């Protein structure tokens, strides 16, 4: 490695307790607000003159922008520290959610809820937070700390989803969203608690203490090494399935329950219950990672998700079954995050953790884009979510299988001839394919969204008069 060893002693790290409190609060706010969006599907569709797919398109764009921006945000945070990136993300989040509340057209909703909120999530979501926590926590407590913060994120879902539902009933969806945007501003204040000690190398360069060590390597070499490592690529594919599952369920479960004739409160209760049980699941995953192989735990989680979905589809559609599904899915919800991030750190260390986990998260968001938008399209086309549920089952089994072949052992170094070259051929190829897919998908999606808007009342009536509406059930 280059002769950039640390010659100055980093400042003492701040109390891990305060780090966990601030990081947990940030993830609670960012993930909690985002978890409320599914509750607004029907009133927003009615107000903007679109259908389920039209609303889902904004969430799909949001997830894709979030994923594409995550490696960039992670790289900037690795280089300059997480607080600045998180502060910018918190401000963008507030502006984006407030913009959603003021939207009067699908285009405005796509720009605010899709583009701005997607950029905000890239900068202020748990990927940047967890990388900072990984650097601030002692190595022996790193996975545990990441599990704590991930679990805290679900607490926000448990608290904010019913709150948003209550506000929607009392003051309407626009005012409810504006209130959520105000809450997002708290991220700006909390971000500075995660300031990392600075260390200076012999060349005068400085950065977060976790990155200014002998293990640090340029990002271009780290990503080149990652994209040539089979375990890393399999991890990316598995996390794509995670994105499909959680975003489809989080956005469309309330409408699915309405299809079954359940009350408007059932959707909010189910999503909130997922958040509550995810506190247990994410914390347990962080603890179990110290005793069992992380890849095996991931395989079990994805397999159990498939089983839970089969149960939801085939068992009698009673409130008890739905609540049991929500509890089980909550245990499996974000329990993948501490395990996946822990594997990335095991493979490549903490120096480029934010950017390399950001690449993995890009795959998560591609899965989210597919799940949320095509889930809505298929439901509109077939009049049922059944096809999407069975696709989710198949994907869960696929992810369970491939994670058995993932290893968290350090990735092998690049051959000398590759380490001396730019080594970005694989990255460029992947980026090109993803860019083409993203542009094609968004272009087709926007065209579909505009057609839905042009169809106007017909599309809206098709949604509003069917008695599956969770937020506005037929009288």
Lowest mean pLDDT among 86-100, 211-225, 243-257: 211-225
pLDDT of 442:
47
pLDDT of 417:
55
User: CA of 84: how far to CAs of 24, 61, 189, 289, 357, in Å?
Assistant: 17, 25, 11, 31, 19
Radius of gyration of the chain (CA): 22
pLDDT at 357 over 50: yes
How far apart are the two ends of the chain, measured CA to CA in Å? 70
Q: Which residues contact 391 (CB under 8 A, 6 or more apart)?
A: none
- What is the three-class DSSP state of 471? coil
Q: How confident is the model at residue 416 (pLDDT cuts 50, 70, 90)?
A: low
Q: Which residues contact 255 (CB under 8 A, 6 or more apart)?
A: 38, 41, 42, 52, 267, 379, 385, 468, 469, 470
pLDDT at 60 over 50: yes
Contact 342, 142 (CB under 8 A): yes
The CA-CA-CA angle for residues 347, 349, 350, to 5°, reads 140
- pLDDT (tens digit, 9 = 90+) per residue, 311-347? 999 999 888 999 999 999 999 988 898 899 889 888 8
Nearest CA among 81, 160, 79, 85 for reference residue 121: 85
Residue whose token pair is 């017909």: 458
Task: Tell me what percent of the residues of the chain surpass a pLDDT of 70.
Answer: 78
For residue 283, count CB atoms less than 10 angstroms from its CB and return exposed for 0-12, middle for 13-18, buried for 19 or more. buried
State the CB neighbour count (10 A cutoff) for residue 41. Answer: 27
Q: How far apart are CA 109 and CA 56, in angstroms?
A: 11
- What is the three-class DSSP state of 474? coil
Mean pLDDT of the chain: 77
pLDDT of 466:
29
pLDDT of 197:
65
Query: All domains of the chain, ordered by start, with CATH?
Result: 21-196+219-451 (1.20.1250.20)
pLDDT at 96 over 90: yes
Between 152 and 441, the more confident residue is 152
Contact 97, 36 (CB under 8 A): no
The β-bridge partners of 208 are 198
pLDDT at 97 over 60: yes
Q: How confident is the model at residue 423 (pLDDT cuts 50, 70, 90)?
A: very low
Lowest mean pLDDT among 173-182, 263-272, 403-412: 263-272
pLDDT at 433 over 60: no
Q: Are strands 198-200 and 206-208 parallel, antiparallel or unpaired?
A: antiparallel
User: CA of 119: how far to CAs of 71, 86, 102, 111, 149, in Å?
Assistant: 12, 11, 19, 11, 21
Residue whose token pair is 């398109």: 57
pLDDT at 190 over 60: yes
The maximal CA–CA distance of the chain, rounded, in angstroms, is 73
Q: How confident is the model at residue 236 (pLDDT cuts 50, 70, 90)?
A: very high
pLDDT of 9:
38
Q: How far apart are CA 119 and CA 124, in angstroms?
A: 9
Three-state secondary structure of 178-243: HHHHHHHCHHHHHHHHHCCCEEEECCCCEEECCCCCCCCCCHHHHHHHHCCCHHHHHHHHHHHHHH
Q: Which residues contact 122 (CB under 8 A, 6 or more apart)?
A: 65, 66, 67, 68, 69, 70, 72, 73, 89
pLDDT of 223:
80
pLDDT of 437:
46
pLDDT at 470 over 80: no
Tell me the two tokens of residue 380.
């509109």
Q: How far apart are CA 373 and CA 231, in angstroms?
A: 29
The CA-CA-CA angle for residues 120, 122, 128, to 5°, reads 115
User: CA of 76: how far to CAs of 115, 322, 329, 427, 432, in Å?
Assistant: 19, 42, 33, 18, 22
Contact 152, 165 (CB under 8 A): no
State the CB neighbour count (10 A cutoff) for residue 218. Answer: 13
The CA-CA-CA angle for residues 72, 122, 141, to 5°, reads 90
The β-bridge partners of 200 are 206
pLDDT of 348:
82
Q: How far apart are CA 235 and CA 237, in angstroms?
A: 5
pLDDT at 399 over 70: yes
The mean pLDDT value for 414-420 works out to: 56
pLDDT of 402:
95
């Amino acid at each position: 490695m280059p002769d950039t060893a640390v010659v100055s002693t980093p400042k003492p790290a701040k109390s891990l307790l305060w780090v966990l409190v601030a990081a947990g609060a940030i993830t609670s706010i960012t993930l909690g607000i985002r978890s409320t969006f599914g509750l607004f599907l029907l009133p927003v569709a009615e107000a903007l003159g679109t259908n389920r797919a039209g609303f889902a398109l904004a969430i799909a764009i949001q997830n894709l922008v979030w994923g594409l921006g995550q490696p960039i945000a992670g790289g900037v945070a690795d280089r300059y520290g997480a607080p600045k990136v998180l502060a910018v993300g918190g401000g963008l989040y507030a502006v984006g959610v407030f913009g959603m509340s003021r939207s009067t057209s699908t285009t405005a909703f796509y720009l605010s809820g899709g583009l701005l909120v997607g950029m905000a999530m890239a900068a202020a979501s748990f990927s940047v937070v967890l990388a900072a926590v990984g650097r601030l926590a002692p190595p022996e407590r790193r996975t545990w700390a990441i599990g704590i913060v991930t679990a805290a994120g679900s607490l926000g879902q448990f608290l904010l989803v019913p709150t948003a539902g209550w506000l929607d009933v009392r003051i309407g969806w626009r005012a409810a969203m504006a209130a959520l945007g105000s809450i997002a501003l708290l991220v700006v204040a909390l971000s500075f608690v995660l300031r990392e000690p600075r260390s200076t190398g012999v060349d005068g360069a400085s950065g977060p203490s976790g990155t200014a060590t002998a293990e640090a390597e340029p990002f271009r070499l780290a990503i080149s090494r990652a994209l040539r490592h089979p375990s890393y690529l399999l991890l990316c594919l598995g996390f794509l399935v995670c994105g499909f599952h959680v975003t489809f369920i989080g956005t469309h479960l309330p409408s699915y329950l309405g299809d079954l004739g359940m009350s408007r409160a059932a959707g909010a209760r189910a999503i909130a219950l997922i958040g509550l049980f995810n506190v247990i699941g994410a914390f347990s995953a962080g603890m179990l990672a110290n005793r069992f192989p992380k890849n095996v735990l991931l395989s079990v989680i994805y397999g159990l998700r498939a089983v839970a979905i089969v149960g939801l589809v085939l068992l009698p559609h009673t409130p008890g079954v739905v609540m049991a599904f929500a509890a089980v899915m909550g245990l499996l919800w974000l329990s993948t995050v501490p395990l996946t991030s822990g594997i990335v750190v095991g493979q490549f260390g903490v120096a480029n953790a934010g950017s390399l986990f950001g690449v993995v998260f890009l795959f998560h968001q591609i899965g989210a884009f597919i799940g949320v938008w095509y889930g809505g399209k298929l439901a509109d086309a077939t009049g049922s979510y059944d096809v999407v549920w069975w696709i989710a089952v198949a994907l869960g089994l696929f992810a369970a299988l491939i994670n058995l072949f993932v290893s968290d052992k350090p990735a092998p170094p690049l051959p000398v001839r590759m380490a001396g070259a730019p080594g970005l051929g694989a990255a460029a190829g992947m980026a090109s394919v993803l860019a083409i897919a993203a542009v094609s998908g968004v272009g087709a999606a926007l065209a579909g969204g505009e057609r839905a808007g042009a169809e106007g009342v017909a599309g809206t009536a098709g949604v509003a008069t069917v008695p599956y509406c969770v937020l506005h059930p037929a009288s």
